[in-house]
Chain A
Amino acid sequence: MKMDNLLRTPLYDLHTQCGAKMVPFAGHSMPLYFAGGALKEHRATRLSAGLFDVSHMGQVIVRPVEGGKARTARLLEGLMPIEIENLPAGRQRYALLTDSQGCILDDLIVASREDHYLLVVNAATKQSDVDHLKDSLGGACEVSLLEDRAMLALQGPKAESALRAAVDGVPNMRFMDCVTIPSPFGELWLARSGYTGEDGFEVSVPNRHARELARTLLAQEEVIPVGLAARDSLRLEAGYSLYGADIDTTTTVVEAGLAWSVGRSRRKGGSKEGGFPGSDVILRQMAGGTRRRMVGLQPQGRLIARAGFRIFDDNVGAAQVGVVTSGGFGATINRPVALGYVDAGSLSCTTLHFEARGRFHGIKIVPRQSIAPNLNKG
Chain B
Amino acid sequence: MKYTKDHEWVVYDAPEFTIGITEYAAEQLGDVTYVELPQEGDWLEAGDEAVVIESVKAASEILSPASGEVVEVNQELADNPALLNEDPQESGWIFRMVPEDPSDFGDLLDEDAYAMLTSQ
Q: Within the complex, which residue of B31, B54, B57 is in contact with A303, where a contact is CB–CB below 8 Å? A: B54
Alpha-carbon separation in the docked complex, A351 to B98 (Å) = 39
* B56/A38 in contact, CB under 8 A: yes
Instruction: Kindly state whether residue B113 has any CB partner on chain A within 8 Å.
Output: no
Task: Tell me the minimal C-beta distance from A272 to chain B in angstroms.
Answer: 44
Q: Could you mark each residue 79-114 of chain B with 1 if its beta carbon is under 8 Å from any beta carbon of chain A, else 0?
A: 000100100000000000000000000000000000
Residues of B31-80 at the interface with A, using a CB-CB cut-off of 8 Å, are: 31, 33-34, 36, 49, 52, 54, 56-59, 61
User: How far is B73's CA from A374's CA once the two chains are assembled, in angstroms?
Assistant: 41
Which secondary structure dominates where chain A touches chain B?
mixed
CA distance A328 to B58 in the complex (A): 9
Contact of B61 among A229, A233, A306, A357 (CB under 8 A): A357
Residue in A38, A302, A304 whose CB lies within 8 Å of B30 = A38
Identify which of B31, B36, B56 gathers the most chain A CB atoms within 10 Å of its CB. Answer: B56
Query: Is A329 in contact with B33, judged by CB distance below 8 angstroms?
Result: yes
- CA gap between A21 and B29 in the complex, in Å: 11
In Å, the complex CA distance between A40 and B31 comes to 9
User: Interface size of B by Cβ–Cβ distance < 8 Å?
Assistant: 15
Contacts A37-B85, A357-B49, A357-B61 given: A304-B54 contact, CB under 8 Å?
yes
Decide yes or no: A39 and B52 within 8 Å by CB, A303-B59, A304-B59, A356-B59 being known contacts.
Answer: no
Is A152 on the interface with B (CB-CB < 8 A)?
no
Asked whether A159 is an interface residue with its Cβ less than 8 Å from the other chain, the reply is no
A302 to B81, CA, bound (A): 11
CA distance A147 to B49 in the complex (A): 48
Q: Is the CB of A233 within 8 A of B59?
A: no
CB nearest neighbor in B for A232:
B56
Choose one: B30, B34, B59, B82; the contact of A306 (CB below 8 Å): B59
Contact of B34 among A32, A229, A233, A303 (CB under 8 A): A303
B7 CB to nearest chain A CB (Å): 17
Contact flag A33-B59 (CB < 8 Å), given A229-B30, A303-B34: no
Q: How far is the CA of A336 from the CA of B52 in the complex (A)?
A: 15
- B52 x A33 contact (CB < 8 A): no
Q: How far is the CA of A34 from the CA of B54 in the complex (A)?
A: 19
Complex CA–CA separation, A67 to B87 (angstroms): 66
B33–A357 CB distance below 8 A: no
Q: List 19 A-B contacts (CB under 8 A).
A: A32-B30, A33-B31, A33-B56, A37-B30, A37-B56, A38-B31, A39-B33, A39-B82, A229-B30, A233-B56, A302-B33, A302-B36, A303-B34, A304-B54, A329-B33, A336-B33, A357-B52, A357-B59, A357-B61
Chain A residues near B (Cβ < 8 Å): 21, 32-33, 37-40, 229, 233, 302-304, 306, 328-329, 336, 356-357
Beyond the given pairs A32-B30, A39-B31, A39-B56, 12 more chain A to chain B contacts, judged by CB atoms under 8 angstroms and listed by A's residue number, are: A21-B30, A37-B30, A37-B56, A37-B85, A38-B30, A229-B30, A229-B56, A229-B57, A302-B54, A303-B59, A329-B33, A329-B34
